[in-house]
Amino acid sequence: MLNTVSKIRGQVKSVGYPQTEGILGDSMLRYGNELGAESGFGYALLEMGEALKQVAQAKDCMDVRVKRTFIDPLQSLQHTELKEIA
């Protein structure tokens, strides 16, 4: 019950959509660490993996911002003002 109330209040962070860039970045970091930063390929995997993790984080932030600033107000408009017109 407490978990449901927390979700309604927005206090529980929901798990977002897993970004493919983040999954690829995790794999690159794992295998880059296995090869080691001393090798050129291992270093490239580590650098690119970190960059892809940052891209995934930016996409998550953008998804949240679009939902909060565009989708939520649009749904609110649909549920309130458009029902009054019909």
**What is the value of pTM for the model shown?**
0.71
pLDDT higher than 70, residue 12: no
Under DSSP, the state recorded for 84 is H
Does residue 8 or residue 32 have the better pLDDT? 32
Q: Which helix (H) or strand (E) holds 56?
A: helix 40-66
Backbone angles phi, psi at 13, to 5 degrees: -75, 120
User: At what angle are helices 20-35 and 40-66 packed, to 10 degrees?
Assistant: 160
- What does the pLDDT look like over 14-25, one tens digit per residue? 567 789 999 999
Structure confidence by residue, pLDDT tens digits, 15-57: 677 899 999 999 999 999 999 999 999 999 999 999 999 999 9
SS3 22: helix
- Give residue 74's pLDDT: 92
Residue 81's pLDDT is what?
80
